[in-house]
Amino acid sequence: MRYDENPLETLMEAPLLSIRQLTVDFHTDTGDFRAVDGLTFDIPKGRTVALVGESGSGKSVTAQAILQILSKKARITGGSIIFNDPALQAPVDIAALKPEGEAMHLLRGGRIAMIFQEPMTSLSPLHTIGDQISEALLIHADVSKDEALQRTMEVLARVGFPDPKRALRTYPFELSGGLRQRAMIAMALITRPSLLIADEPTTALDVTTQAQILDLIKELQAETGMSVLLITHDLGVVANVADDVVVMYRGRIMEAGSREEIFRHAQHPYLQALMRAVPRFAMAENERLTPIREVKSATLARVHAPERPQPQGPILKAEGLTKCFTLRSGRLFGKPRMIRAVNEVDLELPTGKTLGLVGESGCGKTTVSKMIMRALEPDAGRVLFDDGTGPRDVHRLEGEDLTDYRRSVQFIFQDPFSSLNPRMTVYETLTEPLRIHNIGTPDERYQRVKQLLDMVGLDQRSLRRYPHSFSGGQRQRLGIARALALEPRVLLCDEPVSALDVSVQAQVLNLLKDLQSALGLSYLFVSHNLAVVDYIADTIAVMCRGYIVEEAPKSSLFRNPVHPYTQALLAAVPDPDIDRPLDFAKLRTDRFSNPAEWPEPFRIPDGEFGVMKEIEPGHKIRMGRVTTQEAA
Amino acid sequence: MIRFLLRRLFTMAVTLVIISALVFFIIKLPPGDFLSNLIYELRAQNDNASITKAEFLIKQYALDRPAWEQYLIWIGVIPGPNGFSGLLQGDWGWSFEYDKPVADVVGDALWLTLLVNLAVVIFIHIVSIPIAIYSATRQYSIGDYLATFIGYIGLATPSFLLALILLYYLNRWFGVSIGGLYDAKFAGEPWDWPKIQSFLAHLIVPTIVIGLAGTASMIRRMRANLLDELGRQYYVTAKAKGLGPTKALLKYPFRMSLNPFIADIGNLLPHLVSGSVLVSLVLSLPTVGPILLSALKNQDQFLAGFILMFVAVLTVVGMLISDLLLAWIDPRIRMGGGR
C-alpha cells in the first residue's frame, strides 16, 4: 500500500472518517445532558488521531457513537459521521444508520474495530481466546471454522503470542494483562479494518507493557495502512504515537491540530493547564504541579502535628522481609507451586519523609505494604516501628501496643470507588475510626470530622451525603480524610492516584504534600508510575520480582540509574515532551524483568538473592553472586 | 480431578451420616413410638392377637433396645435381631402404619415424585428464561412491567389456593377431574400406554400449580443477574465485533448469568419434594409428600426416616452434580484460578 509517500497527497485525499457537528444527548432520570456538543474533526487515512480529555469529557461517548454502541440512555441527536472506506462502494453516514441494522453490523467489527481499556473485563472469561477471536472473522468473512482458526493463529503470532497454537485454547484469565491486550488487538485486527478505535488501550497496563503495546499498534498500522483513533488522557502517550491531536472538554473541542502544533504552541488555556498538571521528570526541585482545580482549605494552613516524642532513627524499618505464596497448580495432578513474592526486603522510612516504592504489577510492592500494616505475616524478617520510645517489632505487638500501632499507621487505597462503603454517609465513614478506638464524645467527633473535611478541601455540607455522589478525586480525598482521623504518624499509600485523571491526580498529590509538611507525616508511597513517585518521594526503592534492585535518593536515581531494570522502567515512561520520544526498539524485549537474564554483574540465578552494594552515599544496587565473590 | 471426586465423596458420606443421626433422633424425640401407642390402644380393646404381633414387631425391629443401638441397627452397622439388615444393606425397614415394608409403601410414589418434580423444574426453566431475557433486555418497558407484575402475583398466590381454584373450575366448566396423577381406574394397573397417557394429561395441572411460584422468583433472579451482566464490558466487546444483539446476548451474558442457577440445582430438588406437600394433598397426588406428612404425625419411624434420608441423598447428590456441572461450563472453576 502506498501511504505517506507524499504527506501533502495524503492530506488532499478525502479523510477516512469525518465527523461534523456531532451531538449526543443523554436522557436520564435526573435530567438530560449533552455529552457531545457539536463535535467536528477528521480522521485522515493511515494516520493516528488522539482524542484527549479528562474523564467525562465525552471522548469515549464519541467512540461509542462512531460504532453505534451507545448505552440505551444516549442518542445521536444531530450531525453526521461520514465513513469513506475504500472497501465500500460509497461513503456512508453512520449517524443515519440504525444501530442494529444490517449495514451497521457489517461495519462494526468488520471495517471499524475497537479495543478497550480493561483487557481483563473486555474478554469473556468463559470462552477461549481462539473462540472469541475467530468469531470476529466468522461474522464478517465467508470462511470455514478451520480457516478462521488458522487465520486466528496467524494473527496471534503477529501480535506476539509465543505459542499461538496453544493460545487458541487458553482462557483470558490464564494470560497476563499485556497478553490479554494483545489478544484484544488480534481480535480487532483479524478482519483487517480500516479504522481502529483504541479507547485507553494502555491505561491499565504497566509502563513497559504499555510501551510494547503502543509499539505494536504503530507497527500494525504501518503494515496495514489503517487509521487509528486513540482515546487517552495520558499526554505522554499522545506525544509518542499521535499524528494529530484533538483536545476535548465537556463535549466540545478545545483545540485541535498536528502533534507539533499542540505540544509546541498550545494555545488554549485548558490545554496549557492540562500540560502543567502532568508530573514530568525534568521538574525543578521545588516546582509544584498546577492542578486545573486547586483544593482550597483554610484549616490546612493552621493545623500542625500533635506534640509527641519523635523517634531518633527511622520511624519505620523493614529488615529482611520475605514472603512466599503457594499457588494451586492448574493441572489435575500438578504439585502446588511456591512463589517468592518478596525476597529479603530492607527499607527505611525516616520521620517526615516519603519513601517511594516503584515496580510493575506483581513485583511484590503491595505485599510489602501489607506486611508493614500487619495484614500479612512475613515468613522471615521483621518490621520495626519507633514511636519515640525505641524500635519495636510490629509483628510481636499485642493488646494495647497493637491498638496504638494501628492508630499510628493508616492506609490509603488505590480504588476510591470500592474503598468507601456505599451504604455509609461521609459522616459515618469518617467517624468510624474514632468510634472503633473510643475517641472523644459525639460532639468532639463531629468537630473533628468537620476539621478533617476542610483539611482535604471538601465542603462541610457533604457530611450527610453518600460516596456515590462524589467524583473519583473527591472520594480519594475522603479516603485520605478517613486515614487522617486518628492522627497517624505514617500513611501507607498504595497507588493512591493511579485510578485518577491527570488533573485530579495533581490535586491529590499536592494535597498529600501539604498534609505532610503541616502534620509531619511519613509516607510509604507505592506506585508503578515513576514520574509520580519522582514528584512526591525523597527516596525511591525500585522493586522487581520481589527484590529491591535499586534504592537511592531521587536526585541520584534519576541522574544516574545503574540497574538495567531501573533503566528500562525509566525508558518506558512516555514523556509529554515530543523531543524525548520513547525508544521502542530498546523496550521490545522482555528480558529486563527476569533476574536470571540481567546482564552481569546484575544477574541473579534462581534460588539466590544477590547482595545490595552501595555505589555512592545512599545509592544502593543489587548485584549478583560474581561481584560478591570479587569483593570478598 | 479424581482427588477432588474422592474428597467430595468422603465429605458426602460424612454429611449423610450426620444427617441420618439427626433425622433418627429427631423422629425419636417425642416420647413413645408408633408401636407402643398401638399396644396401649389394643390393650384397651383386649385384642391379644394383635398385641402379640406388635410385640413381635418390637422385638423384630429392636425397639426395646436403647436409642443409639436402634440407630446403628437402622443404619446397618451392628447386627439387629435378624443380623445385619439396615439402610446399608438395602433393607429400608417396616412401615407400621401401613403394615407393609417401607419399600412397598413408597415404591411408586418415589418415582412419581421425581417425575412430577422434574416436569416442574423443566416447566420453570422453559417459562421463566425467555421472560427473564425479554424483561432484562427491555428494562422498564411495558412488557417488563407486565412480566414483573404477573411474576409478583404468581409469587404471592399460595399454590394450594390456586390448586383448589383450578380443581373446582376445571371440574365445573369442563367436567374434568384433575385430582391424582392418573384416572382412578388405572390404580394398581401395570404401566401400559393408556395409563401413561392418562398420567401425562394429569401431569399438566400440578406442574403449572407447583411451578408457578418458582417461575416468578426465577424470573426475578434471572432478570437481575442478566441486568448485571448486560452492563459488563465483554458484552460491549461482543457487540463491537458486529455480533447481532440476540446472538451476543445468548453467547456471553446469558451464559455468565447461568452460574447461580446451576449452583442451585442441589437446593432445588429437596425443596420441590417438601415444598409441594400442600398441593399434593389438595390434588391428592400419590407422591411422597403426603406419605411423609402422615408418617411424621404417626411416628412411623422407619417410613419417615427413609423418606427424609432419601431427600438428603437427593440433596447431596444434587450438590455434587451442580459442582461438576459448574466445573464443566466455567473454566475459571475448572482451573481453580482467576477471579
Give tens-digit pLDDT for A602-627. 888 877 778 888 888 888 888 876 55
- The dihedral built from the CA positions of residue A43, A47, A53 and A58, taken in this order, carries a sign that is positive
What is the percent of chain A with per-residue pLDDT over 70, rounded to a whole number? Answer: 95
d(CA A44, CA A318): 55
CATH of domain B105-330: 1.10.3720.10
**A590: confidence class by pLDDT, cuts 50, 70, 90:** low
d(CA A623, CA A44): 50
Please give the model's pTM, rounded to 2 decimal places.
Answer: 0.80
A233 with A217: CB under 8 angstroms? no
State the ipTM, two decimals. Answer: 0.76
Do A116 and B331 make contact, defined as CB atoms within 8 angstroms?
no
Pick from B242, B256, B338: which is nearest to A108 by CB? B242
What's residue B102's pLDDT? Answer: 85
Which residue out of B1, B241, B332 would a mutagenesis test of the A interface target, given it has the greatest number of A Cβ atoms within 10 Å?
Answer: B241
On the question of a cis peptide bond just before residue A601, with omega within 30 degrees of 0, the verdict is yes
**Cβ of A630 under 8 Å from any chain B Cβ?**
no
What's residue B153's pLDDT? Answer: 83
Query: In which residue ranges of chain B is pLDDT below 70?
Result: 1, 177-178, 271-275, 336-339
- Show the DSSP H helices in A13-144 as ranges: 59-67, 102-107, 119-122, 129-140
Pick from B232, B233, B242: which is nearest to A140 by CB? B242
d(CA B56, CA B62): 10
What's residue A631's pLDDT? Answer: 47
Do A135 and B241 make contact, defined as CB atoms within 8 angstroms?
yes
Q: Among residues A232, A372, A362, A388, which one has the least CA distance to residue A307?
A: A388
Half-sphere exposure of B243 (CA within 13 A, CB side): 24
**Cβ of A135 under 8 Å from any chain B Cβ?**
yes
- Contact residues, chain B, for A110 at CB < 8 Å: 242
Q: Residue A493: what are its φ and ψ, rounded to 5°?
A: -105, 110
Q: Is residue A7 predicted with pLDDT exceeding 60?
A: no
Mean pLDDT of chain A: 86
Note the residue count of chain A: 632
| Amino acid residing at A455 | M
Residue B230's closest chain A neighbor by CA?
A71
Pick from A125, A135, A332: which is nearest to B338 by CB? A125
Pick from B233, B255, B330: which is nearest to A116 by CB? B233
**A385: confidence class by pLDDT, cuts 50, 70, 90:** very high
What's residue B37's pLDDT? Answer: 78
Strand partners, A33: A26
CA distance readout (Å), B233 to A57, A275, A333, B202? 20, 30, 34, 47
Do A125 and B331 make contact, defined as CB atoms within 8 angstroms?
yes
Q: Which residues contact A250 (CB under 8 A, 6 or more apart)?
A: A37, A56, A57, A58
- For A104-151, the pLDDT digits (tens) are 988 998 999 999 887 788 899 899 999 999 999 999 988 999 999 999
- For A168-178, the pLDDT digits (tens) are 999 988 888 88
d(CA A108, CA B46): 90
Do A135 and B237 make contact, defined as CB atoms within 8 angstroms?
no
**Cβ of A332 under 8 Å from any chain B Cβ?**
yes
- Contact residues, chain A, for B325 at CB < 8 Å: none
In Å, how far is A114's CA from the nearest CA of chain B? 7
Chain A with chain B: Cβ pairs closer than 8 A: 90
**Cβ of A100 under 8 Å from any chain B Cβ?**
yes
Of residues B4 and A390, more confidence is placed in: A390
- Show the DSSP H helices in A355-471 as ranges: 365-373, 399-408, 426-436, 442-455
Domain ranges within chain B, ordered by starting residue:
2-101, 105-330
- Contact residues, chain A, for B336 at CB < 8 Å: 328, 330
In Å, how far is A121's CA from the nearest CA of chain B? 6
Q: Which residues contact A397 (CB under 8 A, 6 or more apart)?
A: A374, A405
Secondary structure (H, E, C), A514-583? HHHHHHCCEEEEEECCHHHHHHHCCEEEEEECCEEEEEEEHHHHHHCCCCHHHHHHHHHCCCCCCCCCCC
In Å, how far is B264's CA from the nearest CA of chain A? 19
Pick from A67, A121, A136: which is nearest to B233 by CB? A121
Q: Show the CA angle centred on residue B325, arms to residues B320 and B326, nearest 5°.
A: 100
d(CA A235, CA A188): 24
Q: Is residue A329 predicted with pLDDT exceeding 60?
A: no
Do A69 and B240 make contact, defined as CB atoms within 8 angstroms?
yes
Pick from B244, B256, B339: which is nearest to A126 by CB? B256
Give me A208's grid cell.
Answer: 513497559
Q: Is residue A369 predicted with pLDDT exceeding 60?
A: yes
- Contact residues, chain B, for A103 at CB < 8 Å: none
What three-state secondary structure class fits A487? coil
Which residue out of B138, B234, B332 would a mutagenesis test of the A interface target, given it has the greatest number of A Cβ atoms within 10 Å?
Answer: B234
- Show the DSSP H helices in A225-285 as ranges: 235-241, 259-264, 269-276
**A388: confidence class by pLDDT, cuts 50, 70, 90:** confident
Pick from A67, A118, A127: which is nearest to B233 by CB? A118
d(CA A611, CA A621): 8
In Å, how far is B216's CA from the nearest CA of chain A? 26
- For A454-490, the pLDDT digits (tens) are 888 888 888 888 988 888 888 999 999 999 999 999 9
Do A171 and B252 make contact, defined as CB atoms within 8 angstroms?
no
Residue A137's closest chain B neighbor by CA?
B241
What's residue B275's pLDDT? Answer: 63
Do A173 and B338 make contact, defined as CB atoms within 8 angstroms?
yes
Q: Among residues A487, A505, A486, which one has the least CA distance to residue A496?
A: A505
Residue B5's closest chain A neighbor by CA?
A332
A199 with A184: CB under 8 angstroms? no
> String of b and e for B255-273 (b: at least 16 CB within 10 Å)?
bbbbbebbeebbebbbebb
**Cβ of A121 under 8 Å from any chain B Cβ?**
yes
Pick from A122, A140, A330: which is nearest to B237 by CB? A122
Residue A191's closest chain B neighbor by CA?
B241
B1 with A332: CB under 8 angstroms? yes
Q: Is residue A353 predicted with pLDDT exceeding 70?
A: yes
Do B232 and A116 make contact, defined as CB atoms within 8 angstroms?
no
Do B243 and A69 make contact, defined as CB atoms within 8 angstroms?
no
**Cβ of A193 under 8 Å from any chain B Cβ?**
no
- The dihedral built from the CA positions of residue A300, A301, A305 and A306, taken in this order, carries a sign that is negative
A444: left (phi over 0), alpha (psi -120 to 50) or beta: alpha
| Amino acid residing at B205 | V
Do B238 and A100 make contact, defined as CB atoms within 8 angstroms?
no
In Å, how far is B126's CA from the nearest CA of chain A? 23
Do A116 and B3 make contact, defined as CB atoms within 8 angstroms?
no
In Å, how far is B153's CA from the nearest CA of chain A? 28
**Cβ of A141 under 8 Å from any chain B Cβ?**
no
Q: Show the CA angle centred on residue B325, arms to residues B324 and B329, nearest 5°.
A: 120
Residue A128's closest chain B neighbor by CA?
B331
d(CA A467, CA B161): 46
In Å, how far is A105's CA from the nearest CA of chain B? 5
Strand pairing of A611-616 and A619-623? Answer: antiparallel
What is the dihedral angle through the alpha carbons of A487, A489, A492, A493, rounded to the nearest 10 degrees? Answer: 60
What's residue A2's pLDDT? Answer: 42
Do B241 and A187 make contact, defined as CB atoms within 8 angstroms?
yes
Residue B329's closest chain A neighbor by CA?
A126
What's residue B320's pLDDT? Answer: 87
Do B234 and A136 make contact, defined as CB atoms within 8 angstroms?
no
Edge-first strand listing for the sheet containing A539-544: A409-412, A490-494, A522-527, A354-358, A539-544, A547-553, A619-623, A611-616
Among chain B, residues having any CB pair with chain A shorter than 8 Å are 1-3, 232-234, 236-245, 251-252, 255-256, 329-332, 335-339
In Å, how far is A330's CA from the nearest CA of chain B? 5
Q: Residue A216: what are its φ and ψ, rounded to 5°?
A: -60, -45
- For A203-262, the pLDDT digits (tens) are 878 888 888 889 999 999 999 999 999 998 888 899 999 999 999 988 999 999 999 988
Q: Among residues A128, A129, A154, A159, which one has the least CA distance to residue A143?
A: A154
Give me B229's grid cell.
Answer: 451482566
What three-state secondary structure class fits A468? helix
- Contact residues, chain B, for A107 at CB < 8 Å: 242
Give me A221's grid cell.
Answer: 498500522
